[in-house]
Amino acid sequence: MTEDLNLALLLGAGVLLVAVAAVRLSTRLGLPSLLVYLGLGLLIGESGLGIQFEDVSLTRTLGFAALIVIIAEGGLTARWSTLRPVLGVSLTLATVGVAVSIAVVGLAVHLLLGLGWQLSLLYGAVVASTDAAAVFATLRKLRLPARLVATVEAESGINDAPVVLVVVLLSTVGPFVHPWWWEVLVIIYELVAGGAIGFVVGIGGRWVLRRAALPSSGLYPIAVIGLTVLAYAAGSVAHASGFLAVYVAGVVLGNARLPHRQAILGFADGLAWLAQIGLFVLLGLLASPARLDNVLIPALVVGVALVFFARPLSVLVSAIPFGVPLRAQAFLAWAGLRGAVPVVLATIPLSANYPGAERLFDVVFVLVLIFTALQATTIAPVARALRVMAPGEAAELSVETAPLERMGADLLQLEVPQGSMLAGVHLDELRLPVGASVTLVLRDGTGIVPGPDFRLKVGDSMLIVATAAVRDAAERRLRAVSRRGRLARWFAEYGEERR
């Protein structure tokens, strides 16, 4: 028994360290790390080191646990001031957009692959959800407008909830017990109740943590993660959407200015990485490479229907009522990355012994490998081609420092890109609100503490300290000056993104 445990620990530690090192490799190659982790799982599986693993129920359970952590981290790092303006379009994408995607992919699978309607719609449902881990890891590396990033991230955090409900419903063997309208009402209830439960848990947790004097700073991150898990469990017990409860609780807690906030975010980030590594390696271990060659054509059919037809149509239907520009719509369509979530969802019909579920799992696995690699490696060129990049966008820096925390302040970084009207502006002409200040400028590798008459030029990198109360106003002002220069207000520019 001890020898088996030691061997398992040795293998687990080796896989974990290789996976951590692979992040640097995947970053250099421009590939999402999840593909490396899936490949690592295949490598140690039955066709590699020979490890046999076929426990679908365990994979489903651990997959859901990993998704709780990943979605919680996404909620904790989402800023409400950025999320609020895009909440309508994100919710529409996560509900109406999901329904459109399921219908289009289901129709394509039924017509092109000749499968029955229920199984065809199940294919559409399994691949309808964008993957939070893939979206967070890919988009946060790019300089994009805050609202555009927030739209995709919020959608990926929310759409797991309705998709899980639909997949469970369609995985039912035999005739449905209730009529379709009843099932629609049940889904609406579960989403509304899940959101309400997450909000209550978040508000309650915020109140307790602000007033609790825990004996160690390391207990605060554990308490926050515990609260998000509590939100999921409470939602599930109430027959509501646990995943939506997790995301809402995470957003409430992440915007609460809790004690030791940077430590909380750092802990959540590390835990999310661990969850991603474990989840992707486990899914790669569950897959059987000997079967994957036979599903290449179906995977391409489903993938093309999803990426080039279903996703653009779902974005079009969801975004037009909110006046989203066409270029932004095109980017939203291409940025709907799939990752581990569809593969985890494919284990639901597999564990229910639904006819055709094994082939569905293999098709989804190959689809994720191919189309995640295609979209993730081309998302930056696509953003540049669509002219939605925002090189002058300020980005938050994660710095663990007590003074910033006590002041309730954030540290922002802003580069002066080519073509920005910030070039040539003196610092006092930025007219940042009281509570925001440029503390350091990095120019040609040299740090400079600037004075009011310091003049910016292309290539400068600024560090800006801004209190929570004025952060949004400071970012709006910087965006305005970046577009119109020192006379931004003469053009009624207040920093909002152009439509």
In this predicted model, what pLDDT tens digit does every residue of 364-373 receive, in sequence order? Answer: 989 988 888 8
pLDDT of residue 479: 83
| pLDDT in the model for residue 104 | 95
Work out the pLDDT band at 471, boundaries 50, 70, 90. confident
pLDDT above 70 for 216: yes
Residue 303: pLDDT band (50, 70, 90) is very high
Look at residue 494 in the predicted model and tell me its pLDDT. 58
Q: Is the pLDDT of residue 395 over 70?
A: no
pLDDT digits (tens, 9 = 90+) for 431-463: 888 888 898 899 888 888 888 888 898 888 888
Spatial CB neighbours of 296, under 8 Å, sequence gap ≥ 6: 366
- Residues of the chain above pLDDT 70, percent: 88
Q: For the chain, what are the domain ranges?
A: 54-273+288-386, 402-490
Residue 359 scores a pLDDT above 60: yes
Whole-model pTM? Answer: 0.79
Residue 1 reports pLDDT greater than 60 = no
Which of 78-92, 184-198, 241-255, 380-394 has the least mean pLDDT? 380-394
Higher-confidence position of 80 and 405: 80
More confident residue, 417 or 397: 417
Q: Is the pLDDT of residue 339 over 90?
A: no
Supply the CATH classification number for the domain 402-490: 3.30.70.1450
What CATH code is assigned to 54-273+288-386?
A: 1.20.1530.20
What is the band of 32 on the pLDDT scale with cuts at 50, 70, 90?
low
Confidence of residue 317 (pLDDT cuts 50, 70, 90): very high
Q: What is the mean pLDDT of the chain?
A: 83
- pLDDT at residue number 197: 95
pLDDT(498) > 60: no
> Is residue 28 pLDDT above 70, yes or no?
no
Task: Output 312 or 393, whichever has higher pLDDT.
Answer: 312
- Rounded mean pLDDT, 53-61: 81
- Band of pLDDT at residue 109, cut at 50, 70 and 90: very high
Q: pLDDT tens digit string along 133-176? A: 777 667 767 777 878 888 888 888 788 888 888 898 888 876 66
pLDDT band at 97 (very low <50, low <70, confident <90, very high): very high
3-state secondary structure the chain: CHHHHHHHHHHHHHHHHHHHHHHHHHHHHCCCHHHHHHHHHHHHCCCCCCCCCCCHHHHHHHHHHHHHHHHHHHHHCCCHHHHHHHHHHHHHHHHHHHHHHHHHHHHHHHHHHCCCHHHHHHHHHHCCCCCHHHHHHHHCCCCCCHHHHHHHHHHHHHCHHHHHHHHHHHCCCCCCCCCHHHHHHHHHHHHHHHHHHHHHHHHHHHHHHHHCCCCCCCHHHHHHHHHHHHHHHHHHHCCCCHHHHHHHHHHHHHCCCCCCHHHHHHHHHHHHHHHHHHHHHHHHHHCCHHHHHHHHHHHHHHHHHHHHHHHHHHHHHHHHHHCCCHHHHHHHHHCCCCCHHHHHHHHHHHHCCCCCHHHHHHHHHHHHHHHHHHHHHHHHHHHHHCCCCCCCCCEEECCCCHHHHHHCEEEEEEECCCCCCCCCCEHHHCCCCCCEEEEEEEECCEEECCCCCCECCCCCEEEEEEECCCHHHHHHHHHHHHHHHHHHHHHCCCCCCCC
Please tell me the least confidently modeled range out of 17-21, 172-176, 328-332: 172-176
Confidence label for 499 from pLDDT (cuts 50, 70 and 90):
very low
pLDDT of residue 86: 87
Q: Can you tell me the mean pLDDT for 99-124?
A: 93
Among 120-134, 137-151, 324-338, 399-413, which stretch is predicted with the lowest mean pLDDT? 399-413
d(CA 160, CA 184): 16
